[in-house]
Chain A
Amino acid sequence: MAAKSIISRPVYGTLSPQPGKHHLFVADAEGALAITDLAAKAPDGFFADAHIIFIPGNEGQHVAALEALKPAQLYQGPSFASALPRLKQTLANAHMGLRLYLAGTEGLIGQAMQVALEAGIDHTSIQTEHRGSLARRVQCVHCKGITENVTTQPATCSHCGLLLLVRDHYSRRLAAFQGVCINAEDRSEIPPTEEIFR
């Protein structure tokens, strides 16, 4: 569970069934378990109006558990990028009464929320639950490149190669944490690298 450090650092909750006419879930990997936990608390017939967009990841688990919920639609894709057109299309055609639930890694939650914000959903009305990896999406403030799945502190920018301090400072607009050069004064100074965002 992510601890609150600075105000922009996202804090996640526990998915719970909301009143609504349609329910859209976006989840990756262990995020599926947040959906099955919600199902235990949901009223009968809840999933008859549900659409689940699921990215199982390398392990490929949990698909059967989601199928068992008998959602109106269940999509699985190899990556968030592959699911993106479907997510955008669903939101573009949606009406008020659609509720959004995001579960899984921070990168998945953040990127799906970014699309939802563009579609006019307020971030405070989105249900989120963090499950699985703590790996971060990081934007290098120097070259603006985004590095996915950052697990170490510091981390190397995959675009410009600077060694970055990964901050808790988060941008909902970019769906990324901020990375700032950790040794700008003296590039030969290399602090030890620790794997802290597993």
Chain B
Amino acid sequence: MSTGTTKLDVVVSDVVPVNELVTRFHFRRRDGQLLPTFSGGAHVVVEMRDGERTRLNPYSLMGSPLDTREYTISVRRDDVGRGGSLFMHRHVRPGIEMVISYPVNLFSLDLRARKHLMLAGGIGITPFMAQTAQLAADGGNFELHYTCRTASLGTYADLLRERYDRRVRLYHDDRDERIELDRLLSSQPLGTHLYVCGPSGMIGWVRDRAAALGWPTETVHFEHFAAPQPGAPFDVTLAVSGKTIRVGEQQSLLEAIEAAGVDPPYLCRGGVCGQCETNVIAHDGNFIHNDHWLSEEEHRCGKKIMPCVSRFEGRSLVLER
């Protein structure tokens, strides 16, 4: 059993199309009990039995942390992705039994903040659904700036406006509405914390501007789930378990290790939490590091790899697994 990934047996209690790309899934416990408590920003890893293949994808919980009768996630269909979102959209129906992990929070609110400034892009809105519900329940001070492509793709934008009124500001790409980021960041009271979730370009832009404008790193929080990138197949020797495996084009190294019956710890499967960090015993070739966990120095020296998102090309790779 992997670290922090104690499993929950759930049943899909509802499937609700939200707009042309996004569908919401509701889960309840099969035994009728309450689900574990979670805090805004937490995610669960959903196990998908897709034929021979098991997919494990992380999704942010978007319901109110005050209601643990059910968990809800919203999945944006990615027609050119690795297939997890398509599986959810095509095969998951009400009444189906599924297995999900316990919730894990790698994007939690810092409740010492005087104010929470939230920036969402697209489907990056989901963790903020839970965080705003949590803050609103105790009169927390927050402001949400939400960028979406068009009004019809502004997932939950109407609901958020209805719930929180002027605390939510919407920006539509097709109307050329842009966040005036420098002005926004420079007008926040001391003690504000910043949270950003969205496409990696947006996260990079916000982090860079915040750093340049004097926001200490402790006050800037971001959720950066990189889906594993496909790439050329490669072979890996697992020294501890004495196995040699092949990592397929659409498979991550972590998935290939798991498929061989070896069970490394993991939490996020997106290159941020550090759980699956793996020592490299020997290599002849180049690493393709895609994680946000190892330092640049660690990326250079070739002694560690994050198998959830990173790949390898070359003659041989031996891992301590």
Which chain B residues border A122 with CB–CB below 8 Å? 112, 216, 218-219
Indicate with 1 or 0, residue by residue over B189-229, a CB within 8 angstroms of chain A CB atoms. 11110000000000000000001111111110000000000
B213 contact set on A, CB distance < 8 A = 19-21, 96-97
List A residues 82-109 near B (Cβ within 8 Å): 91, 94-99
> Chain B: which residue is nearest A123 at the CB level?
B218
Which residues does chain A contribute within 8 Å of B239, judged by CB atoms? none
Q: Is A125 an interface residue (CB 8 A)?
A: yes
CB atoms of A96 and B112 under 8 A apart: no
B37 within 8 A of A: no
CB pair B218 A96 closer than 8 Å: no
For B215, what are the chain A residues with a Cβ–Cβ distance below 8 Å?
Answer: 96-97
Taking a contact as CB atoms closer than 8 A, the residue among B189, B214, B217 that contacts A21 in the complex is B214
User: Is A119 part of the binding interface, using a Cβ–Cβ cutoff of 8 Å?
Assistant: yes
Does any Cβ of A come within 8 Å of B279's Cβ? no
Asked whether any CB of chain A lies closer than 8 Å to the CB of B186, the reply is yes
Of B186, B189, B212, B218, which contacts A125 at CB under 8 A? B218
Where chain A touches its partner, the secondary structure class is loop
A119 proximity list for chain B (CB < 8 A): 190-191
Q: Mark B176-193, 1 if CB is under 8 A from A, else 0.
A: 000000000111111110
Given A120-B190, A120-B191, A121-B190: A97 and B112 interface contact (C-beta under 8 Å): no
**9 residue pairs, one from A and one from B, having the closest CB atoms:** A120-B191, A20-B214, A125-B216, A97-B214, A120-B114, A96-B188, A94-B190, A122-B218, A97-B213
Q: Which residues of chain A come closer than 8 Å to B214, judged between CB atoms?
A: 18-22, 96-99
CB distance from B213 to the nearest CB of A (A): 5
Does B113 have its Cβ within 8 Å of any Cβ on chain A? yes
**Complex interface: chain B residues within 8 A of A98 (CB):** 190, 214
B211 touches A96 (CB 8 A): no
A residues with CB within 8 A of B = 18-22, 91, 94-99, 119-122, 124-125
Cross-chain contact A95 with B216 (CB below 8 angstroms): no
A19 touches B192 (CB 8 A): no
For residue B173, give the distance in angstroms from its CB to the closest CB of chain A.
Answer: 26
- Expressed in whole angstroms, the minimum distance between the Cβ of B220 and any Cβ of chain A is 10
Whether B188 lies near A95 (C-beta < 8 A) is yes
List, in ascending order, chain B residues with CB within 8 A of A18's CB: 214
Contact A95 B113 (CB under 8 A): no
CB distance from B179 to the nearest CB of A (A): 16
Is there contact, CB below 8 Å, between B191 and A121? Answer: yes
The distance from the CB of A173 to the nearest CB of chain B, in whole angstroms, is 13
Offer 14 A-B interface pairs, CB within 8 angstroms, sorted by A: A18-B214, A19-B214, A20-B214, A21-B186, A91-B190, A95-B187, A96-B213, A96-B215, A97-B185, A120-B112, A120-B114, A122-B218, A122-B219, A125-B218
Smallest CB-CB separation from B185: which chain A residue? A96
Closest B residue, CB atoms, query A98: B190
B211 touches A120 (CB 8 A): no
Chain A nearest CB from B189 CB (Å) reads: 6
Q: Smallest distance from the beta carbon of A141 to chain B beta carbons, Å?
A: 26
State how many angstroms separate the Cβ of B140 from the closest Cβ of chain A. 14
**B211 near A125: Cβ-Cβ < 8 Å:** no
Considering the chains assembled together, what is the distance between the CA atoms of A35 and B114 in angstroms? 29
B222: min CB distance to chain A, Å: 16
- CB contacts (< 8 Å) of B217 on chain A: these are 125
